[in-house]
Amino acid sequence: MEHQVVLVLDFGGQYNQLIARRVRDLGVYCEVKPCTTPLSQLRAMNPIGVIFTGGPGSVYQEDAPRVDRDIFTWGVPILGICYGCQLMAHLLGGRVAAAQDDSAREYGKTETWFDTECGLFRGLPETGVTWMSHGDYMEKAPEGFRTAARSAACPNAAVADEARGFYGVQFHPEVEHTRHGTDMIRRFLYDVCHAAGDWTMEDYRRSAVASLRDKIGGGKVLLALSGGVDSSVAAALLAEAVGEQLTCVFVDHGLMRKNEGDEVEAAFSKRAMNFVRVNAEDRFLTKLAGVDEPERKRKIIGEEFIRVFEEEAGRIGAVDYLAQGTIYPDVIESGAGNAAVIKSHHNVGGLPDYVDFKEIVEPLRLLFKDEVRRLGRELGLPDYLVDRQPFPGPGLAIRVIGDVTKDKLDMLREADAIFREEMARAGESRRLSQYFAALTNMRSVGVMGDGRTYDCAIALRAVTTGDFMTADWARIPYELLDRVSVRIVNEVKGVNRVLYDITSKPPATVEFE
Ligand code: XMP
């Protein structure tokens, strides 16, 4: 099926994929193309609209990214964002000025006034906060344009030539901090470009499957399936695309939550692909015996994981493609392209060095987490996989403080399952980013019945966060904490005390180790 397409022309900004994602969310297919793509190729895509992204440069720099002026003769609406807006102004005869002093620079949330007669802002409030991030600004709008928004430092925070369908905004409508930013993009797509809204996740699935088939052909694909959302959705997508050519290896290290291993197996073992579950609990627990230092534990688990995976891969023989469930935030965090490195992400690190394969496929590379979940649902994965919280690779080993034994893991699994069950029942799960139980290495005195106990303390942790770099401890109702506490001490043998962690990150981390 043919779809309308909006072209996102990439000038190197940080938020380009976020723009693409907003457009997709609004039901319009879009493609991000480098600004160096030949114009003839872009025109052949027959876009209904074009968005110029932001970028780090200044239009006056010698090597500033540009686009051929001819694009303005296509008769297609264009929305320029930040650098894209300045470039449009510059190419059409306006004047862009470098801020001489700090007063004309704007970074962050900025109070902005809108002309609600302008197509982009129609029906929206006349003032609102926008997210600005610019040194240069548009001093004079080009011929035919009028001012459509302003801020204290920016006389032309938005400009419009409505006759030609050209709009420029100095701020970033794609980021959450811009109030009604998504509405502005919606106005551009639907009122200016007259989009039909003919793009859905079902279409995404179809086209992703088609392009995977195209790329993989008759080749063999190997995927390390962790049971987390990303690798599960990647597995389901690849299974649909190439079926039996795919082998998923699920290493069950015995450090999973209650029933988790069986759930992963149930979701995948019946799909048309090769699913291998390696029950490696003994191996991992033997290696971990007596080790209580957190980093040592992580290292041992990481290495053992690779060993097991390598052995399985060896059994399968040479594969053509190693698949990974990398998603877009991982790509940004790992510092791909021009964006800065925030932290190296912990996907199944190091695997490519150990496995004999030709190429990596990352079918979720351009999707954000919630899009991945939607795609997972579209592919028929069960809610318990799709809605899964983030779960660390080293699993419960870093939630058993101190040395890890099977008994401790079992105790923790039960307590954690009770906590998660009660939280879900109370409707808290959607509001919170992550919540779990940890087994402290503290024993304390209690009284049960008429007897003294000297048992373990379970700590509960629940946090809210946007990016997991910082997190706040969650204010959950006392009654709920009470129910969880009563159930845990009654139902989990060996536990006589339940604590609730009221530390944010920083100074604490989300996990205990
Ligand atoms: P911290 O404890 O660093 O956790 O505040 C932040 C987020 O990362 C998860 N996490 C991990 N995820 N492998 C992973 O895949 C790991 O080794 C790992 N350690 C922490 C943690 O659950 C939280 O969501």
The dihedral sign for the CA sequence 368, 369, 374, 378: positive
Tell the residue nearest (CA) to atom 10 of ligand 1: 392
Top pLDDT among 375 and 2 is at 375
Burial label, 483 (beta-carbon count in 10 A; 0-12, 13-18, 19+):
middle
Which atom of ligand 1 is found nearest the CA of 512?
Answer: 2
- Count the helix, strand and coil residues of the chain and give each as a percent rounded to the nearest 5: 35, 25, 40
CA–CA dist 252, 395 (Å, integer):
10
| Predicted local distance difference test score (pLDDT) of residue 510 | 95
Q: Could you tell me which residues come within 8 angstroms of residue 486 by beta carbon, excluding any fewer than 6 positions away? A: none
Ligand 1 atom having least distance to the Cα of 226: 15
| pLDDT, position 441 | 97
Cα 496 to middle of ligand 1, angstroms: 28
Under the banding of pLDDT at 50, 70 and 90, the label for residue 10 is: very high
Atom 3 (ligand 1): residue with closest C-alpha?
509
Check: CB of residue 123 under 8 Å from CB of residue 48. no
Ligand 1 within 6 A of 390 CB?
A: yes
Neighbours of 463 (CB within 10 A): 22
In the chain the first and final C-alpha atoms are separated, in Å, by 50
| Ligand 1 site, residue 249, Cβ cutoff 6 A | no
Establish whether residue 387 lines the binding site of ligand 1, counting it when its CB lies within 6 angstroms of any ligand atom: no
User: 199 with 206: CB under 8 angstroms?
Assistant: no
Residues written for the chain: 513
50 touches 79 (CB < 8 A)? yes
Cα 513 to ligand 1 centroid, rounded to whole Å = 9
Most ligand 1 atoms within 8 A of CB, residue of 256, 301, 333, 346 to mutate: 346
Instruction: Please name the residue ranges forming H helices in 180-293.
Output: 181-186, 201-216, 229-242, 260-268, 281-288
pLDDT of 418 > 90? The answer is yes
Q: Are strands 158-161 and 146-151 parallel, antiparallel or unpaired?
A: antiparallel
Write out the two tokens for 243: 């079926």
Domains of the chain and CATH, by start:
5-192 (3.40.50.880), 201-386 (3.40.50.620), 399-500 (3.30.300.10)
Task: Evaluate if residue 152 carries a pLDDT over 90.
Answer: no
Per-residue pLDDT at 346 exceeds 60? no
What percent of the chain lies above the pLDDT cut of 90? 78
Q: Find residue 224's DSSP bridge partners.
A: 249
Task: From 298, 468, 511, 512, give the residue whose CB has the most ligand 1 atoms within 8 Å, as the site to mutate.
Answer: 511
- Ligand 1 contacts CB of residue 434 (under 6 A): yes
Torsion sign (Cα): 397, 499, 436, 434: negative
What are the strands, taking DSSP E only, across 341-433?
359-361
pTM score, whole prediction = 0.80
Q: Identify the CA nearest to 350 among candidates 391, 393, 294.
A: 393
Residue nearest to atom 9 of ligand 1 (CA): 392
For the stretch 361-413, pLDDT in tens is 999 988 888 899 999 999 999 998 999 999 999 999 999 999 999 999 999 99
In this predicted model, what pLDDT tens digit does every residue of 23-72 receive, in sequence order?
Answer: 999 999 998 999 999 999 999 999 999 999 999 888 988 889 999 999 99
pLDDT at 101 over 80: no
346 catalytic per annotation = no
393 lines ligand 1 (CB under 6 A): yes
Cβ–ligand 1 distance for 511 under 6 Å, the answer yes
pLDDT for position 81:
97
With bands split at pLDDT 50, 70 and 90, how would you rate the model's confidence at 348? very low
Counting ligand 1 atoms within 8 A of each CB, the residue from 461, 501, 510 with the most, and so the one to mutate, is 510
